[in-house]
A and B are shown apart, each in its own frame.
Chain A
Amino acid sequence: MSGAFDTYLHEVLMRGQAEARAESSATIEAHHLLLAMAAPEDTGARAILAAAGLDQAGVRAALRREFEHSLAAAGVSAAAFDLRSTPDPERRPQVGASVKLALERLASTHRKKDLRPIHVLLGVLQAEVGTVPRALALAGVDRAALAERARELL
C-alpha cells in the first residue's frame, strides 16, 4: 500500500502548502495538514474527521480559536490587527518541524510497505502537545478516540 500512501501524502502536502501560503507561513505545519485532510476533495481522512463533527470549516474555526486563545495568554488580541494581505502565488512553504515529527513517528513504528493513507491522520493525531492537540481540545474533540476510530479502519 506504500504507493497509495505516497500518493495521498503528496496530495495532502500540496493542499497543506496552499494553506500555509494563505497564512503567510514559511513552513507547512501539522495544522495545515489537518486542514488539508478535512478538505472536501480529500480521499483519505475527511470522512473520519466529518464523523467526529469536523468538516474543514470546523477545523478552521478550532484552529482560529486556538490561535486567539494562545495570543490572549500573552495579552494580545488578534482582533486588534488588520491581517489582510495578498498571498504570493509563487511562495513555496517547505515541510516544517511538526510535519517531520508526525512522519518520523510513522516511520519508527511501521514498515514503509504497511503505511496506508489513513496513517497520515494518525501521525498528526499522535502529537501530545502543540497546535493540533490544543485546537482539538478547545473544540471539545476527543483526540484519542478519534485516533482509535482511524486505527479501526486500517
Chain B
Amino acid sequence: MSVKEPADALAAVVALRRLADQLEDAAVEQAMRAGWSWPQVAEALGITRQAVHKKHAKRLIAAGVELRRRA
C-alpha cells in the first residue's frame, strides 16, 4: 500500500469496509443462487451459520432464492 496522506489512508479504511459490506450481500446471494448451503457459506465466511442465516435469510427468501439447508 502506497498511501502517503493519512486522510487518504483513513478514507481507504472506510471505503474498504463499505465495499466488504456490499460484497458480503452480493457474494452470499450469488453463492446461494448457485446452490451453496448455509453451513458452506458460513464456513467460507468464517462466521457461524446462525449469524449468516440471521443476516441474510429474510432478504434471500424475499428475492425468491431457493435455499438449501444442508451441504
A residues neighboring B (CB under 8 Å):
23-26, 66-67, 69-71, 73-76, 78, 81-91, 129-131, 134
Give 21 pairs: A residue, B residue, CB < 8 Å, sorted on A. Answer: A23-B18, A24-B25, A67-B15, A70-B8, A70-B14, A71-B12, A76-B16, A76-B19, A83-B26, A84-B26, A85-B22, A86-B59, A88-B56, A88-B62, A89-B58, A89-B62, A91-B59, A129-B7, A129-B10, A130-B11, A134-B11
- Tell me what chain A mostly uses at the interface: helix, strand, loop, or mixed: loop
Per the 8 Å Cβ criterion, residues 1-42 of B in contact with A are 1-3, 7-12, 14-16, 18-19, 21-26, 28-30
Digit string of B53-71 for contact with A (CB within 8 Å is 1, else 0)?
A: 0001011101100000000
Complex CA gap A84/B24 in Å reads 10
Q: Is the CB–CB distance between A71 and B58 below 8 Å?
A: no
Bound Cα distance A81, B9 (Å) = 21
In the complex, what distance in Å separates the CA atom of A70 from the CA atom of B19? 11
Query: Known contacts A86-B60, A88-B58, A88-B59; is A74 also within 8 Å of B22 by CB?
Result: no
Q: Are B18 and A25 in contact (CB under 8 A)?
A: yes
Q: Most chain-A CB neighbours within 10 Å: which of B8, B24, B30?
A: B8
Contact partners of A78 in chain B: CB under 8 A: 19
Cα A91 to Cα B70 in complex, Å, equals 25
Q: How far is the CB of B58 from chain A (nearest CB, A)?
A: 5
Taking a contact as CB atoms under 8 Å apart, the answer to whether A71 and B16 are in contact is yes
Q: Shortest Cβ distance from A93 into chain B, in angstroms?
A: 10
Q: Contact between A73 and B22 (Cβ–Cβ < 8 Å)?
A: no
5 cross-chain pairs, A with B, having the tightest CB-CB distances, nearest first: A88-B59, A70-B15, A86-B63, A85-B25, A74-B12
